[in-house]
């Protein structure tokens, strides 16, 4: 059995697959620990993982968007202090390998110092990250960075990304879901979803602060006249009492998507990659309304492959309403999404990802530097 240290950061959609992959590997008997930002401690421990926060990274202010504090984010991702933190924890844990978030360049440098192999988790859409924006954002050549990894896991289902020939050691593995059956939603929510009536759609705009407070009132107003029921989940970012919901909407603070999406007709989403991949794993079509970051690239691919529609964030209410009704009434969207669900299921909803990690760690000798 191997000793695996996951090193990550609280970027929102990058964390669920890391928690779930760690839990899968721990369930196979490996010793698994995670290092991350303070806000990640609860979810990591809930997944059964030991957790340590970076001593050099202060807690992230809950009212600060990543975009508005990018210098601090970049320091935490790429700084020498973070690298030293990882080296210290890697030695204390006696790690055989590091499982590194693709944007955490300090993790790759730490692995070189430790002389251990790297598994890279690529949570953004792989081709745009490698060839369009990753190098500019992180200030390194992304192809070279990923080339240092013995195994690169692209956390999207095959067929979603821009067609390309992947380098050796790189694979699309789909969304990594829980290693056991998802727990059902809280009982009152489950009772709501089971009641007869208009179709349910989930509205959700990320688990990190973006522009939710400004965007959600207009979206709810666009959906209010439609013959649908809306379940708005706030991802823990806003308090439900801060919003006034129309009669056809129910607001919840946070419920994991994989518990909800198999039970609803569509997802209205900001098109973060984790939300997109989880929706496709559930066979649930989408209306994508990006709020920033790499989300327009993800939304464009969802529309290109036929699993949903892509709207601009400033789209008028009538256009949003029409897109939702189109996705609900045109069976082709659900059919395409169901095909992606089959592909993700064929990869074991994360089992293949765990297999690839095991193959690397069992075949890679530790070479101290």
pLDDT tens string 330-357:
999 999 999 999 999 999 999 999 999 9
**150, 57: one domain:** yes
Which residues are CB-neighbours of 157 under 8 A, at least 6 positions away? 172, 174, 175, 277, 280, 281, 340, 343, 344, 347
**340, 356: one domain:** no
**359, 225: one domain:** no
How far is it, in rounded angstroms, from Cα 246 to Cα 226? 11
- Has residue 281 been placed in a domain? yes
- Has residue 110 been placed in a domain? yes
- Number of folded domains in the chain? 2
How far is it, in rounded angstroms, from Cα 103 to Cα 86? 15
Grouping H, G, I as helix, E, B as strand and the rest as coil, residue 32 is strand
Residue 252 sits at φ, ψ, to 5 deg, of: -130, 150
**169, 24: one domain:** yes
- Has residue 181 been placed in a domain? no
Residue 187 sits at φ, ψ, to 5 deg, of: -55, -45
pLDDT at residue 369 is higher than 70: no
- Has residue 298 been placed in a domain? yes
**162, 293: one domain:** no
Range of the domain at 254: 187-346
> Quick one: pLDDT band at residue 364, thresholds 50, 70, 90?
low
- The structure tokens 């299921």 sit at 345
How far is it, in rounded angstroms, from Cα 350 to Cα 278? 11
**146, 203: one domain:** no
**198, 168: one domain:** no
Token pair listed for 268 = 């209205």
pLDDT of amino acid 366: 44
**69, 122: one domain:** yes
Write the pLDDT tens digit of every residue in 9-66.
Answer: 999 999 999 999 999 999 999 999 999 999 999 999 999 999 999 999 999 998 899 9
**193, 168: one domain:** no
- Has residue 301 been placed in a domain? yes
Note the helical H segments in 197-264: 212-223, 257-260
Maximum CA extent, the chain: 64
The structure's pTM equals 0.94
pLDDT at residue 181 is higher than 80: no
Q: What is the CATH number of the domain that holds 43?
A: 3.40.50.2000
**355, 247: one domain:** no
**281, 320: one domain:** yes
**98, 162: one domain:** yes
- Has residue 250 been placed in a domain? yes
Residue 95 vs residues 41, 53, 86, 294, 361: alpha-carbon distances, Å: 19, 16, 10, 32, 11
Tell me the sheet residues that pair with 122.
Answer: 154
């Amino acid at each position: 059995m191997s000793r695996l240290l996951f090193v990550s950061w609280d970027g929102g959609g990058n964390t669920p697959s890391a928690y779930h992959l760690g839990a899968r590997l721990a369930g196979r008997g490996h010793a698994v620990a995670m290092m991350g930002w303070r806000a990640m401690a609860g979810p990591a421990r809930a997944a059964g993982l030991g957790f340590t926060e970076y001593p050099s990274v202060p807690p992230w202010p809950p009212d600060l968007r990543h975009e508005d504090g990018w210098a601090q984010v970049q320091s935490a991702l790429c700084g020498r202090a973070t690298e030293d933190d990882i080296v210290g924890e890697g030695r204390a844990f006696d790690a055989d390998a590091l499982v590194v978030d693709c944007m955490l360049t300090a993790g790759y440098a730490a692995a070189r110092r430790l002389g251990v192999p790297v598994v890279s988790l690529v949570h953004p859409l792989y081709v745009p990250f490698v060839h369009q924006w990753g190098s500019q954002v992180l200030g390194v050549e992304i192809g070279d960075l990923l080339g240092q990894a013995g195994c690169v896991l692209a956390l999207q289902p095959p067929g979603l990304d821009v067609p390309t020939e992947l380098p050796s050691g790189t694979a699309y593995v789909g969304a990594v879901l829980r290693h056991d059956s998802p727990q059902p939603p809280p009982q009152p929510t489950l009772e709501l979803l089971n009641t007869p009536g208009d179709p349910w759609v989930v509205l959700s705009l990320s688990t990190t602060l973006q522009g939710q407070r400004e965007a959600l009132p207009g979206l709810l107003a666009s959906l209010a006249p439609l013959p649908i029921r809306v379940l708005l989940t706030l991802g823990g970012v806003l308090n439900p009492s801060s919003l006034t919901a129309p009669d056809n909407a129910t607001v919840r603070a946070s419920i994991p998507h994989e518990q909800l999406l198999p039970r609803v007709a569509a997802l209205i989403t900001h098109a973060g990659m984790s939300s997109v991949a989880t929706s496709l794993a559930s066979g649930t079509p989408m209306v994508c309304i990006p709020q920033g970051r790499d989300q327009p690239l993800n939304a464009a691919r969802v529309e290109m492959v036929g699993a949903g529609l892509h709207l601009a964030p400033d789209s008028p209410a009538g256009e949003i309403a029409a897109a939702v009704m189109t996705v609900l009434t045109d069976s082709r969207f659900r059919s395409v999404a169901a095909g992606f669900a089959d592909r993700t299921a064929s990869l074991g909803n994360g089992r293949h990802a765990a297999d690839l990690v095991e193959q690397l760690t069992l075949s890679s000798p530790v070479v101290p530097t």
